[in-house]
Amino acid sequence: MNALTPADLEAIARTPVVDPPEWVRVQLDTGGIAAGAELVYGALAAARTERQLSFALLRAGSVGYSFADPVIEVQDAGMPRVLYGRMNAAVASHLIDEHLLAHRLLDDHIIATRQRGTSLDTAVTHVLVRDTSGEGSRTESLQSAFNAELKRQDLGDRVQVVRALDVGIYEQGAVVQLLPGAVTYANIQEADIALIVRESIAGGRVLENLRWQTPDRQKRIVLRHCGEVDPDSLDDYLRRAAGYQALRRALFEFTPEQVIAEMKTAALRGRGGAGFPTALKWQLTRAQPAPQRYVICNGDEGDPGAFMDRSVLESDPHVVLEGMLIAAYAMGASRGYFYIRAEYPKAVERIERAIGQARERGLLGDNILGRGFAFDAKVRLGAGAFVCGEETALIASIEGRRGSPTPRPPYPSVRGLWGMPTAINNVETLASVPPILRHGGAWFAGHGTPTSRGTKVFAVTGKVRNAQLVEVPMGTTLRQIITDVCGGVADGRELKAVQTGGPSGGVIPVQHLDTPVSYETLQELGSIMGSGGMLVMDKTDSMVDVAKFYLRFCVDESCGKCAPCRIGGYQLLQILERISRGRGSASDVAQIRRICLAMQRASLCGLGQTAPNPVLSTLRYFNDEYKAFIEGGPAYVRKISRTAAPAAKSADEARRVPAAGETASGLLAAKS
Amino acid sequence: MTRARINQLEVEVPEGTSILDAARKVQVNIPTLCKHKDLLPTAACGLCIVRNQGSNKLIRACCTPLENNMQITTHDREIVEVRRSTLELILSNHPQACLTCGRNGECELQARAADFNIPLEAIKRYVKDVPADRSTGSIILEFQKCIKCGRCIQVCQEVQNVWALSFLDRGINTRMAPAGDITLAESPCVKCGQCSAHCPTGAIVENDETPLVWEALHDPEKICVVQIAPSVRVTVGEAFGLPPGANLTRKLYAALRRLGFRAVFDTNFSADLTIVEEASEFIQRFVHRRGALPLITSCCPSWTDFMEKRHYDFIDNFSTAKSPQQMLGVLAKTYYAQKLGLDPAKMFVVSIMPCTAKKYELSRTEEMYASSFKDVDVALTTRELARMLKQSGIDFLNLADGKADSMLGDYSGAGTIFGVTGGVMEAALRTACFYATGKKLESLELDSVRGLEGVKEGTVMVDGTAVRVAVAHGLANVEQVLDRVRAARKNGQEPPYHFIEVMACPGGCIGGGGQPYGVDNERRKLRIAGLYQDDRDATVRYSHENPEVVRVYEDFLGKPLGPRAHELLHTQYTARPLYKR
Amino acid sequence: MKSAASVPEAEQSTRPVELARHDEAALLELLETLVQRHGYVPREFSDEVSRLVAVKLERLRRIQAKLDSTIRRDVQQHVARWRNEEGNLIMILHAIQNQHGYVPREVAMELSRELGVKLARIYEVITFYHYFKLQPPGAHNVTVCNGTACYLKGSTDLLNALRTELGVAEGQTTADRQIHLDTVRCIGCCGMAPAVVIDGKTLGHVKVADVSGHLVALKQSNQEARP
């Protein structure tokens, strides 16, 4: 295939995207596939052949609604475009009959759009209904009530009432969304139904007093094309996502210094967790005279429960590659590596394909877009070591050594990969670069807080109603993320705390949930931003257990090089084990604090320095729980294992199985 | 130069100097368990943390270079507290079996624990039950005592290029061990013992064979004789608090006699003998063009083992002359036994060596039994000897001077410098030059092969012909020398050298793996100076002029390289697999 | 107790040797099984075979040489693909692991020779990264996701049930080498927590009560596969 020219890119930019009138797009990311998205895709393809239909079957990554996997999107002529979740092969086949042939939306699978319309200029064709209190038991009666009312007003033929799976509004009673305008009403009473049907559906007037005013908390910059663009197609990225226009702009309208200046204006900080200013990192790397510089994309996302980077790599690989190209241009690097966990085969496959396509079309090579800029990128796999997320360990790993961190200085920007200046940027950081170059640093900096600009992607999981990927502007509060976006705690339980930053972070108790998210505020609370894992816990979760979980993770993942981390983590875990068995003593807490201090101050790298955070933050906010274990002794452990707290119970059970104990905990299961 | 302040004290050091080293300049010792002067910092132990004003983080003094205007605090309340906790953590992962440990009293961890007065089990002890590896018979790996500082691994991989030891697994399971669940004996280990010399604890120690020697000494049937290696005389004093390099030859003779040895010999004597054989070999190859050039020395058993495993394309270049230890052993059980009418079966030959590999050499090949018995029964390291002397209650330093036994006890200055890098080369050239020309070298002392440079090259004019020589010490330095020879070989060119000396340990035997602890280049230099002084003080400085050497040829061996010399004094080599498994 | 335990083992090791005395093909098969299991033919075993089948020593050598050359060819292929690439060691180890399911010792040694990387370095790397295994995998893999979401939703209970049911801890394979139990950090199916992956197939919202059923199904599929 011919190399792309700047003129080609300009032409593509001017050409609007034309999709076929009817299509079904299946979201095929790892989470979706695990939930059966490929079976859904197969069923759709089979049904299409069988019924000789002509709709296009498209592929995409994930929009981020993990709770509803597998998710598909359907466009049918004359119908509103909708997302369906919790699909399976049978439903998919049924969907074809209903949606594509009978032109009726399917009950119980639709995920309503989060965009809330303000006008009803277009006639209402569909009404999505959902009872958002608790598990939504009244949804069906809501549907009947609407149907009855429509029939009464003689609109039954014109409008279909559909039960939605999710409307993105929670605990606000009965909610309806009028399609296609997406005007949304919440907390509607029975009496309102007639009014809505008369005024809004028949009359096309918006009832402002019922309208759900809360704006969508999300602002999708990094994820903006995830779930939309075909991750396997460069052309799709070029057309649908204005792909490589930012690169074109960087190469033709900016000097490398100006790119860095633009990044400085954007005030983007590293999204891997530490929050180092990206522009400064590039500048330092650029300033180092060297025959070769490297840029590395850190895709070794290792936090348990975090899947932001994987999702971006799987859903929009080219945006990361484009970000890397711009970074390379800015700092004068001629070679780049994607360091990706081997546990992410799909992400690896897609980024490799993206690289191949870019190479084929001259977006990688010796003379990119004819500007004399030479760059090539390759993939290197991680091999199951969380510590390789640390920069120096990551470099050691690429170089084919044990992933043990080395002392800094020298920093990688001075002496990195094979001794050359190297900038290591996280996936999300690089994915933020093309939008910044396209829309300007000032635009990006317009989002967020004064110290933390832009947006941040979080993977919200745990006891949350809707586990999903969320992208919000910095400064959004934790409560807004958890309750407004993700629907709060599942099963009507009470929210207890949120854990951010994974094993390096801490827990934030419910009284601090109104804290706006930024690098600084989270740190003040004893946690960190981290890469974006956010674990929601309810009242049944034992904080001692959660601390133990994260600590065990760090102990498993410690590289073992430096004594404070290697032994400190292990001993800390032993003490926590002791306490949670009711065998702790009053002096244990003091010893925990002493060991934590040694680890924080004397560990060589971030893993050891931050490993005590989950312990210290639970001690800070939930000291009572530790006390209860220590003072209550075995009797307390028996008591709580009889009641609630499944996690605490499991810890107790672990000791009854034969292979358990130290070996079973995996700590000592040395390979032989 | 970098100027900064450490504990308010002005300090000026060359750029790139670590905070740890800079602090020493102002008499501040920052504790560390992993940094060794010979080695690059590994940043493992976490004890050397210090604070730079204005920074919230504590930094490691071992691996952070001092920068201009830094204001370093090495000791404050928090730093000391953290250090103490870290030390407690390290001890919690250590058997704390000091009283029965090979390093008792000389252990760096023990010393730090004493400094901080750490109570027993300050933190509950966790030590994984791993049996020690005693497979080599030279070095014992006591895995439980390892603090994972990484010194041994750096020495084994980087300094010695042996790659027997490695870090395996990770986290709390991290361990120092041969790669892939094999024993040390099955690994590429060459038994040089540098790991044990650099280990801060008792995790790697020599195989203590003093009980065997005590038993023999107490056995009225046994006739125990002993030999002391060249370098031991200038290092053993360190175990008794003397500075390195103090020459204790005569006190050693006296002390060994007091221990109960019937005869005290000097390996320097057989070093002279080795030179006579080796110089003859060289003349044969260099002058008469019979045999491969370059000739490569073979008296270092670690080097021999290394060559057999990794560089066996040089077997033909190796001198077949046995090492001085083995030559003395065989002569003790043949020549000496015959002269005195002793039953060699009852003789028990002990050697005092700077070296752990010498234990391995005792049974390296069948030629080590040339007397029909095991030529040398036990080889002890300097450290083991010091232990024996202390046990025996001998007031070693205040002993009156003693004498070595004749026949195998006299030595030349050339023999004594066997113990330093370049010494064998120098000694051999002194004699070879004489053999070739009948004349002595113009300048006796060959400066080009002296010093601690890793590879030393020189050209010595022997009667108008240039002899090109190379000296390497520290096995990692061998490769470049051999590669030059290989390159010439491949291109059909004249070899770049005629004569190569290799010693496995940095500095030669004075830096051997069995020497008293705490070796670094400063010590090596002092020890070397001690041996060169011994050479200068010697009345005879040519091996072939050693009267007892002359006599042993006249009375017993016949001619150098003659049939009897060949039978008793020479050996052979064979390619060996790098991994036995 | 002790002697009873040692007898079947002795039988096990002599029976194939007896077999091998008569049948070269069986010998070859036996050696291949051993290579499968250990990654190489254990020295004591080949010694044993050569002692008992003295006449066939030459043949044994040939077979061993054949295995060696297969290994060499495989390794050479991997190395050829990566030789001129920077940072190739871990990528080659991935290729080897994909091929064998683990990194056999013989292959590691061959790789060391072929790539000029010290074996010690290769083992340092293999044992550091959890992804690389030194033991052959089981016929089936049961992997419990231990990401935070799954943990909070009871993955520990699932793991305990599996441990009890299979009699092995995570990271271990049942004695019959049929089922390998393991945990994984996070498979990214947090929406389906707790999740278990059985032979690549992800099961969501798994309950302790389901565990037995899944294992039975696995064992049945086994018997069907083995007519």
B58 inside 8 A of chain A by CB? yes
Contact B58 A563 (CB under 8 A): no
Q: Could you list the residue range(s) of the whole structural domain that residue C74 is in?
A: 1-136
**Interatomic CA distance for residues A626 and A579, integer angstroms:** 7
Question: Residue B489 has what pLDDT?
Answer: 93
B182 inside 8 A of chain C by CB? no
Do C163 and C123 share a structural domain?
A: no
Residues C136-164: tens digit of each pLDDT: 888 898 999 988 888 988 999 999 999 99
Residue whose structure tokens are 């994260």: A550
Helices (H) and strands (E) in chain C, counts: 10, 5
Exposure of B119 in the CB half-sphere (CA atoms within 13 A): 4
Contact A402 B171 (CB under 8 A): no
Contact B178 C43 (CB under 8 A): no
B157 inside 8 A of chain C by CB? yes
Question: Residue A670 has what pLDDT?
Answer: 38
What backbone phi and psi angles, to 5 degrees, belong to A234?
A: -65, -40
Q: Please say whether the beta carbons of B222 and B216 come within 8 A.
A: yes
Contact A566 B172 (CB under 8 A): yes
**Count of CB atoms situated within 10 Å of the CB of A35:** 27
Do C74 and C113 share a structural domain?
A: yes
**Interatomic CA distance for residues B568 and B559, integer angstroms:** 12
CATH (residue range B91-206)? 3.30.70.20
C106, C124, C129, C135: which to substitute to probe chain B, counting the most B Cβ within 10 Å? C124
Contact A569 B172 (CB under 8 A): yes
How far apart, in Å, do the first and last CA atoms of chain C sit?
Answer: 35
Give the C-alpha distances (Å, rounded to integers) separating C94 from A342, B49, B194, C81: 9, 38, 35, 13
Do C168 and C86 share a structural domain?
A: no
Nearest chain C Cα to A546, which residue? Answer: C152
Do C149 and C132 share a structural domain?
A: no
Structure tokens, A264: 């400085």
Contact B179 C119 (CB under 8 A): yes
Q: What CATH number does the domain containing C149 carry?
A: 3.40.30.10
Burial classification of residue A491, based on how many CB atoms lie within 10 Å of its CB (0-12 exposed, 13-18 middle, 19 or more buried): exposed
Give the C-alpha distances (Å, rounded to integers) separating C147 from A577, C1, C152, C154: 20, 43, 9, 11
- Per DSSP, the three-state class of B345 is helix
B152, B168, B172, B475: which to substitute to probe chain C, counting the most C Cβ within 10 Å? B168
Q: Please say whether the beta carbons of A303 and A502 come within 8 A.
A: yes
Contact A663 C156 (CB under 8 A): no
Do C114 and C29 share a structural domain?
A: yes
Residues β-bridged to residue A533: A459
What backbone phi and psi angles, to 5 degrees, belong to B138?
A: -110, -45
**Interatomic CA distance for residues A436 and A430, integer angstroms:** 10
Chains that touch C (3 or more CB pairs under 8 A): A, B
Top-tier CATH class for B211-569: alpha beta
- Per DSSP, the three-state class of C172 is strand
pLDDT of A204 strictly over 80: yes
Q: Does domain A455-538 have CATH number 3.20.20.60?
A: no
Q: Does domain A234-445 have CATH number 3.40.50.11540?
A: yes
Do C110 and C161 share a structural domain?
A: no
**Residue where a domain stops, chosen among C136, C159, C183:** C136
Of A136-150, A585-599, B404-418, C188-202, the one with minimum mean pLDDT is C188-202
Task: Give me the total of CB pairs closer than 8 Å, taking one residue from chain B and one from chain C.
Answer: 37
On chain A, the residues whose CB falls within 8 A of the CB of C90 are 380-381, 383, 397-398, 400
Task: Give me the total of CB pairs closer than 8 Å, taking one residue from chain A and one from chain C.
Answer: 182
- The tens place of each residue's pLDDT in chain B, 581 residues long, gives 999 999 999 999 999 999 999 999 999 999 999 999 999 999 999 999 999 999 889 999 999 999 999 999 999 999 999 999 999 999 999 999 999 999 999 999 999 999 999 988 889 999 999 999 999 999 999 999 999 999 999 999 999 999 999 999 999 999 999 988 899 999 999 999 999 999 999 999 999 999 999 999 999 999 999 999 999 999 999 999 999 999 999 999 999 999 999 999 999 999 999 999 999 999 999 999 999 999 999 999 999 999 999 999 999 999 999 999 999 999 999 999 999 999 999 999 999 999 999 999 999 999 999 999 999 999 999 999 999 999 999 999 999 999 999 999 999 999 999 999 999 999 999 999 999 999 888 788 889 999 999 999 999 988 788 999 999 999 999 999 999 999 999 999 999 999 999 999 999 999 999 999 999 999 999 999 999 999 999 999 999 999 999 999 999 999 999 999 999 999 999 999 899 87
Question: Residue C44 has what pLDDT?
Answer: 61
Do C91 and C127 share a structural domain?
A: yes
Nearest chain C Cα to A32, which residue? Answer: C189
Residues B233-253: tens digit of each pLDDT: 999 999 999 999 999 999 999
Of A180-184, B171-175, C45-49, C59-63, the one with minimum mean pLDDT is C45-49
Contact A381 C184 (CB under 8 A): no
- How far does the CA of residue C200 sit from the closest CA of chain A (Å)? 9
- Find the CB nearest A383 among C90, C151, C195: C90
On chain C, the residues whose CB falls within 8 A of the CB of B180 are 105, 108, 119, 123, 134
B128 inside 8 A of chain A by CB? yes
**Count of CB atoms situated within 10 Å of the CB of B15:** 10
B89, B96, B144: which to substitute to probe chain A, counting the most A Cβ within 10 Å? B89
Contact B174 A559 (CB under 8 A): yes
Do C130 and C145 share a structural domain?
A: no
Do C103 and C161 share a structural domain?
A: no
Structure tokens, C53: 């089948």
b/e A155-181 (16+ beta carbons within 10 angstroms → b): beeebbbbbbbbbbbbebebbbbbbbb
pLDDT of A669 strictly over 80: no
Catalytic residues of B: 278, 281, 299, 319, 358, 361, 366, 509
Q: Which of A88, A84, A82 is nearest to A40 (CA)?
A: A88
Do C60 and C146 share a structural domain?
A: no
C127, C129, C131, C135: which to substitute to probe chain B, counting the most B Cβ within 10 Å? C127
Nearest chain B Cα to A404, which residue? Answer: B170
Each domain of chain B, given as residue ranges in start order, spans 2-75, 91-206, 211-569
Q: How big is chain A, counted in residues? A: 672
Contact C128 A459 (CB under 8 A): no
User: In the predicted model, what is the mean pLDDT of chain A?
Assistant: 91
**Interatomic CA distance for residues A86 and A42, integer angstroms:** 16
B55 inside 8 A of chain A by CB? no
- Find the CB nearest C191 among A69, A343, A397: A69
- Find the CB nearest B46 among A563, A591, A595: A563
On chain A, the residues whose CB falls within 8 A of the CB of B128 are 668
- How far does the CA of residue C220 sit from the closest CA of chain B (Å)? 36
Is the interface score ipTM higher than 0.85? yes
Give the C-alpha distances (Å, rounded to integers) separating B84 from A243, B31, B33, B55, B199: 56, 11, 13, 21, 21
For domain B2-75, the CATH architecture is: Roll (3.10)
pLDDT of C192 strictly over 90: no
What backbone phi and psi angles, to 5 degrees, belong to C34?
A: -65, -40
Q: Which of A194, A669, A246 is nearest to A433 (CA)?
A: A246
Give the C-alpha distances (Å, rounded to integers) separating A278 from A220, A260, A272, A330: 20, 9, 11, 11
Q: What angle do CA B206, B207, B208 make, to 5 degrees?
A: 100
Do C148 and C98 share a structural domain?
A: no
Q: What angle do CA B178, B183, B188 make, to 5 degrees?
A: 60
What backbone phi and psi angles, to 5 degrees, belong to C123?
A: -70, -35
Contact C148 A304 (CB under 8 A): yes
For domain A553-664, the CATH architecture is: Up-down Bundle (1.20)
Q: Which of A603, A670, A668 is nearest to A405 (CA)?
A: A603
What domain count does chain C have?
2
**Residue where a domain stops, chosen among C105, C136, C167:** C136
Q: Which of C107, C190, C227, C96 is nearest to A535 (CA)?
A: C190
Q: Please say whether the beta carbons of B245 and B234 come within 8 A.
A: yes
Residues A96-112: tens digit of each pLDDT: 999 999 999 999 999 99
**Interatomic CA distance for residues B283 and B278, integer angstroms:** 9
B65 inside 8 A of chain A by CB? yes
Say which residues have a Cβ less than 8 Å from residue A375's Cβ, sequence separation at least 6: A325, A328, A329, A333, A334, A335, A336, A364, A365, A368
Name residues 271-310 of chain A within 8 A of C (Cβ): 302-307, 310
Contact A34 C186 (CB under 8 A): no
Each domain of chain A, given as residue ranges in start order, spans 20-202, 234-445, 455-538, 553-664
**Residue where a domain stops, chosen among C98, C119, C136:** C136
- How far does the CA of residue C53 sit from the closest CA of chain A (Å)? 31
- How far does the CA of residue A392 sit from the closest CA of chain C (Å)? 15
CATH topology of domain A20-202: Glutaredoxin (3.40.30)
Contact C120 B579 (CB under 8 A): no
Task: Give the percent of chain A with pLDDT over 70.
Answer: 95
Q: Please say whether the beta carbons of A315 and A348 come within 8 A.
A: no
pLDDT of A656 strictly over 60: no
Do C197 and C127 share a structural domain?
A: no
Task: Give the percent of chain A with pLDDT over 90.
Answer: 84
pTM, full prediction: 0.91
